[in-house]
Structure 1
Amino acid sequence: MEIIFIRHGQGEHTVDLPGSLQIQDPSLTQEGVNQAETLQSRFTLTERDLVVISPVRRTLETAKILTKDISCRKIVSPFVSPRMFPQKCEWKTLPCDRMLDKEIIKKEFPSFTIDEALSEELWTSGINTMPEQEFSRVAETFLTWCKSQGVEHIYIVSHDGTINSYREFMGGEKLTRKDFLTDAGWMMQSY
């Protein structure tokens, strides 16, 4: 199984740092839309593929463009929601990284499926400030679920910190913020 990690396109929350991090529910910028369209032309998704998406507007918008006219499974899951990197227990979730309510996702992104099998607590708090030991258990659960899906390719549309956290967990190597993918950046990892 190959996992293709994709960072969302440029979001409004990154345009005027650090103040823009206080924007709630930021969308993609026009540049972010262009980047997502480039991703769509880069990848040849089929109906046999699975796309797992963070429940945040900019990732949902990126995935919507990426999967345009493709009837593959698209699952929204807090398993790939924003995550601080590196993890700092004293930090709090920024307004730009708050997950959307499931009802908003159902209404605005009706072709996506909500992962209803997960606890309401995970849908409420996500993985952003989760201690490393707890994240390791969640990551193991998620990756086991990925393997059970019986697909060759799983595309995960997520965030720089989340992607680095999963990369560290899967590869056992220590990463830094310098290893973040750029806007609409991607990398493939066999698992």
Structure 2
Amino acid sequence: MELVFIRHGEGEHTLDIPRSLQICDPALTAEGVSQSKLLREQFPLTEEDILVISPLRRALQTADYWSSNVNCKKIVSPLVSPRIFPQVPSGKTLPCDEILSKRKIEEEFPGFDLQNEFPEEMWINGINTLPELQFNLQAKKFLNWCKRQENPKIYVVSHDGTITSYRELITGTRLTRDDFPKETGWFKINPFV
């Protein structure tokens, strides 16, 4: 089984940093939409594929544009929501990284399933400020869930800090912000070898 972590396309929250980080619920920019559509060529999807998506609009839109006209499984999970990297004990979730409500996701992204087998608190707070040990426990639960799926390939549409945190856990290698993927950048791994 192969996991492919893909960062969402360019979002409105990146256009005028640090001020734009205060935008609530930022969407993809026109460039982000183009980047998401290009994923169709780089990673053509089939009906057998699973997309696991962060519960933020920019990640959901990335998956929606990418998977257009492909009836693959689309699962929204708080365990791939934004994560501060490196973790800061006093870190606070920025407005641009607040999780959408389940109701809003169901209304605006029909056809996306919610991964309800994880704690309800995760749907409120996500993994953004979890201490490393707690994150590792939740991340291992997510990876075990992936392992139980019978699909040869699972794509995870997420965020730079989240992807880097998972990479660090899976590979055992210390990483820095220099290791962040660019918009729609990706990291492929088989964590169960």
TM-score (norm 1): 0.99
1:33-75 deviations in Å (ceiling 9; x for gaps): 0100111221111111110000000000000011111111100
Measure the CA separation in 1 of the matches of 2:17 and 2:44.
34
Equivalent in the alignment of 2:100: 100
- Aligned residue pair count: 191
Consecutive aligned runs of 4 or more in structure 1 exceeding 2 Å deviation: none
Match runs of 1:79-98 below 5 Å: 79-98=79-98
RMSD: 0.6
Measure the CA separation in 1 of the matches of 2:171 and 2:13.
30
| Percent identity over paired residues | 54
Structure 2: gaps (5+ residues): none
Equivalent in the alignment of 1:56: 56
State the Cα distance separating 1:190 from its structure 2 match.
1.3
State the Cα distance separating 1:91 from its structure 2 match.
1.3
Measure the CA separation in 2 of the matches of 1:103 and 1:41.
32
SS at match of 2:92: coil
Measure the CA separation in 1 of the matches of 2:10 and 2:85.
18
Measure the CA separation in 1 of the matches of 2:118 and 2:21.
28
* Alignment partner of 1:169 is 2:174: no
Measure the CA separation in 2 of the matches of 1:139 and 1:120.
16
1:134-183 deviations in Å (ceiling 9; x for gaps): 01100110000000011100000000000000000000000000000001
* Alignment partner of 1:114 is 2:114: yes
State the Cα distance separating 1:120 from its structure 2 match.
1.2
